[in-house]
């Protein structure tokens, strides 16, 4: 049976990197998708595709509780993917208040709207982040690692986690939390992020910019594998052994920034380019990567594509997109 056929799904952050891929996959599975869309961004993979015409659109912001409640109630939503957030670390450092509003207030607004519709909402997946753990000496992070974010973005995600679990333990809201590594893939137009920025620089035969000293370590996770992970978890809710649980998802193959840039340049055949290392990064965790044993054990999950295949597909998409933009 097709679990998603005619299921009524509400997606916050639908026009983002993960959200746009989630919309595409759910539509292909026959779901009835309602998207929360705040900004209309030029070049957005979702907004410039025909997928949006097949969705219900709620125009509004996570900080507007009434908009969220109306969307869930009027479209009779049974499944919620809370993917919307302010996700740029630099933006969070420059403007913590707007980040806290979107990521913290937006989360309690969304969960409260779900609580008000208990006869409708059967499952809620809340996107947290590996940044919620903060900085620890013992790596990799497991789900038992304490949430001790210190910098604005990390704190906003620690709070996202705690609020989600508060709604589960207090109100039995059927929620589960995901903590993914650094997502990458087609459609991410935030070119100040490392992967799209490096691809763009290489495409233009310019030296890629590395803001840090190049030795920061991360787990880079292909967005299509993330979509698979979210759907696998959602299909287990609201089973008792899965609600109120948190899950790490990633590749378990950490790379330094320099190593990642070298992989991109090699994939693009631009090994003659030398990265410009600025060593200016601040308010960021130096080393972080995930242990995904729990997801493997409880969900029988593992990435289908992995980093190398995901990077090749990502480079191909950006190469075509940049070529079309320059014509």
d(CA 243, CA 188): 30
Active site residue 318: no
Residue ranges of domains in the chain, CATH in brackets: 8-184+222-251+289-304 (3.40.50.720)
**What φ, ψ does residue 57 adopt, rounded to 5°?**
-115, 125
d(CA 139, CA 76): 42
Q: What is the pLDDT of residues 57-101, one digit of tens each?
A: 999 999 999 999 999 999 999 999 999 999 888 899 999 999 999
Cα 181 to chain centroid distance, Å, stands at: 9
Block means of pLDDT (10 residues each) for the chain, 327 residues, are 94 94 97 93 77 94 97 98 92 94 98 98 98 95 97 96 98 98 91 94 96 93 98 98 98 95 97 92 88 98 95 96 87
Q: Environment class of residue 205 by beta-carbon count within 10 Å: exposed (0-12), middle (13-18) or buried (19+)?
A: exposed
Considering 51, 133, 153, 230, which one is annotated as catalytic?
Answer: 153
Query: What's the predicted TM-score (pTM) here?
Result: 0.94
Dig out the tokens for 147 from the structure. 């949430």
Q: Which residues of 131-163 are buried (b: 16+ CB within 10 A; e: fewer)?
A: bbbbeeeeebbebebebebebbbbbbbbbbbeb
Q: Environment class of residue 326 by beta-carbon count within 10 Å: exposed (0-12), middle (13-18) or buried (19+)?
A: exposed
Q: Which residue has the tokens 């989630």?
A: 22
State the pLDDT at residue 9: 98
- Cβ count within 10 A of residue 30: 12
3-class SS string, 199-212: HHHHHCCCCCEECC
Break the chain down into helix, strand, coil percent, rounded to 5: 40, 15, 45
What's the alpha-carbon Rg for the chain, to the nearest Å? 19
The alpha helices in the chain, defined as continuous H runs, are: 17-28, 65-74, 89-94, 96-100, 106-115, 152-171, 194-203, 223-234, 257-267, 293-299, 306-325
State the pLDDT at residue 194: 94
State the pLDDT at residue 89: 86
């Amino acid at each position: 049976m097709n679990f998603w056929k005619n299921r009524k799904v509400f997606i916050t952050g639908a026009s983002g990197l993960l959200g746009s891929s989630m919309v595409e996959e759910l539509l292909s599975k026959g779901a009835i998708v309602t998207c929360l869309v705040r900004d209309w961004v030029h070049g957005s993979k979702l907004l410039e595709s025909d997928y949006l015409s097949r969705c219900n659109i709620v125009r509004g912001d996570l900080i507007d509780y009434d908009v969220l409640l109306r969307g869930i109630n009027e479209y009779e939503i049974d499944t919620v993917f809370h993917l919307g957030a302010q996700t740029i670390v630099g933006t969070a450092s420059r403007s913590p208040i707007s980040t806290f509003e979107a990521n913290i207030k937006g989360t309690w607004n969304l969960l409260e709207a779900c609580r008000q519709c208990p006869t409708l909402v059967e499952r809620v997946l809340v996107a947290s982040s590996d940044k919620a753990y903060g900085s620890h000496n013992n790596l990799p992070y497991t789900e038992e690692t304490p949430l001790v974010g210190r910098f604005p973005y990390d704190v906003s995600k620690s709070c996202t986690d705690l609020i989600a679990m508060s709604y589960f333990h207090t109100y039995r809201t059927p929620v589960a939390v995901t903590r993914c590594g650094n997502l990458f893939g087609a459609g991410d137009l935030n070119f100040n992020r490392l992967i799209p920025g490096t691809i763009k620089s290489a495409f233009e035969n310019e030296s890629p910019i590395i803001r840090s000293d190049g030795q920061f370590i991360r787990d880079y996770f292909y967005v299509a594998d993330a979509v698979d992970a979210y759907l696998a978890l959602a299909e287990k809710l609201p089973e008792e052994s899965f609600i109120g649980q948190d899950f790490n998802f990633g590749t378990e193959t950490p790379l330094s920034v320099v190593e990642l840039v070298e992989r991109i340049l090699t994939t693009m055949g631009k090994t003659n380019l030398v990265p410009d290392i600025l060593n200016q990064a601040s308010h960021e965790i130096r080393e972080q990567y995930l242990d995904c044993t729990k997801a493997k054990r409880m969900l029988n999950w593992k990435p289908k594509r992995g980093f190398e295949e995901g990077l090749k597909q990502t480079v191909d998409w950006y190469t075509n997109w940049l070529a079309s933009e320059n014509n």
